Structure 1
Amino acid sequence: MNYKQKLMLPMCAAFLLYGCNATNDSNHGDKNVEDMNTAGQGTETDVDPQVKAEVKDVEGKTLGIVNFTAEENAVLIQTALEGLEPGYHGFHIHENAICEPEAKEGPFTTAGGHFNPTDETHSHHAGDMPPLYVKEDGTAKYTATLDSMTIDQLKKEELAVIVHANPDNFANIPDRYEADGQKGPDEDTLKTGDAGDRQACGIIVGAEEK
């Protein structure tokens, strides 16, 4: 089994774990993601979101908007993005509402680590979301329902959404650990799943503020 095949296994398991639907062109009950407008013009659905995040790249270009809407004991997440590299990307909520593309430690590092109010390891952070899949044309449509966070937290905690450069391995052990003779995941993968650099960032605010 090669590295890519190994990487797909934890991704599939993560989808089952989160009990969500995060696909290119998918429906959430009667809520059709196809109702979203072109990503750069914002995303509008048939459900009025309570919380939004306008996602921008390192050059300040708007790639789309992430919508958050309360459901029974859960949060519905819907987004349409464009201008991204094809493939899987780590997609998380981070602990600081600060998106600085020219931050000293690297683009958007000012957003801090994953939103993790209960001090868990990855992939059990409240801000850990299923991976974002980007098509060959650079666009992605995404629907997920998570109970790891609440609308009140998203409104009050001053958080950000981050799109990472690489796939998220969900703290599993990739080939490089075997080559280094390690017996388990290191500190970085326990924190972030080795999702790599931050390509885009959006500050989460109440929908009425947008």
Structure 2
Amino acid sequence: MNYKQKLMLPMCAAFLLYGCNSEDNSNGADKNAEDAKTVSQDSSTEVDPQVKAEVKDVEGKTLGTVNFSADENSVVIETALEGLEPGYHGFHVHENAACDADAKEGPFTTAGGHFNPTEETHSSHAGDMPPLYVKEDGTAKYTATLDSITVDQLKKEELAVIVHANPDNFANIPDHYGANGEKGPDEDTLKTGDAGDRQACGIVVSEEEK
């Protein structure tokens, strides 16, 4: 073996080693990419079907919709309504899927009380939602997230959404205000937050039922 051949041996060995490592790294990168794709597919979750209520006034006119969708352990409420009186309104999920505008006891009284499976006082009812604020043009739009009610309940129970005539005080009547000559909230306040008459109603329906 001459001098030049001896000199070339280490260079050839280095080249062969680099080529093998490069191929191994390429295969490793491909495998990592495939693993990541598998993990991504496995971690995808199925989104619960949407639940919604088409809200109508006492004359049967559709005012808009209230949509409910699952977000981990919470429910996202998306509201878009129009044709309402400006100002704050009590806004609740009620216990009966019945929106009779001509009910004997008053419009939409057939919807019963607030959805309250744990028998709490008002402000802790599962069906208590943030007050609805209606702008001067009669429209109301908001998004809220609650964990007091579940999409499962909204799908399985027969429920309705009610828009009340008055603001909702959530039974927040401090003792020093007094109520009917006594201190603290009275019975009606503890039940409904003095939200008043029912101006609009919508039966909660699962998209699966359509």
Query: TM-score if structure 2 supplies the norm length?
Result: 0.74
* Alignment map for 1:1-210 (pairs within 5 Å): 50-173=50-173, 178=178, 180-210=180-210
- 1:172, CA displacement in angstroms? 1.8
RMSD: 2.0
**Greater relative CO (CA pairs within 8 A, separation 6+):** 1
Query: 1:117 is aligned with what amino acid?
Result: P
In structure 1, the gaps of 5 or more residues are 1-46
In structure 2, the gaps of 5 or more residues are 1-46
State whether residues 49 and 68 of structure 1, in contact with CA within 8 Å, keep that contact through their aligned partners in structure 2. no
- Residues in 2 aligned to 1:186 and 1:66: alpha-carbon distance in whole angstroms: 31
State whether residues 179 and 185 of structure 2, in contact with CA within 8 Å, keep that contact through their aligned partners in structure 1. no
Change (3 A) 1:99 1:55: same
State whether residues 54 and 203 of structure 2, in contact with CA within 8 Å, keep that contact through their aligned partners in structure 1. yes
- Residues in 1 aligned to 2:187 and 2:151: alpha-carbon distance in whole angstroms: 30
- Residues in 2 aligned to 1:174 and 1:56: alpha-carbon distance in whole angstroms: 35
- Residues in 2 aligned to 1:48 and 1:141: alpha-carbon distance in whole angstroms: 23
| Secondary structure at 1:178 match in 2 | coil
- 1:208, CA displacement in angstroms? 3.5
Change (3 A) 1:165 1:49: farther
Query: 1:138 is aligned with what amino acid?
Result: G
State whether residues 178 and 185 of structure 2, in contact with CA within 8 Å, keep that contact through their aligned partners in structure 1. no
- Residues in 1 aligned to 2:77 and 2:166: alpha-carbon distance in whole angstroms: 21
Q: Deviations over 1:53-73 (max 9, x none)?
A: 000000000000110000011
- 1:127, CA displacement in angstroms? 0.2
Larger of the two Rg values belongs to structure: 2
Change (3 A) 1:174 1:63: farther
- Residues in 2 aligned to 1:138 and 1:67: alpha-carbon distance in whole angstroms: 19
- Residues in 2 aligned to 1:111 and 1:134: alpha-carbon distance in whole angstroms: 22
Query: TM-score if structure 1 supplies the norm length?
Result: 0.74
How many residues are treated as equivalent by the alignment?
164
- Residues in 2 aligned to 1:179 and 1:71: alpha-carbon distance in whole angstroms: 40
| Secondary structure at 1:60 match in 2 | coil
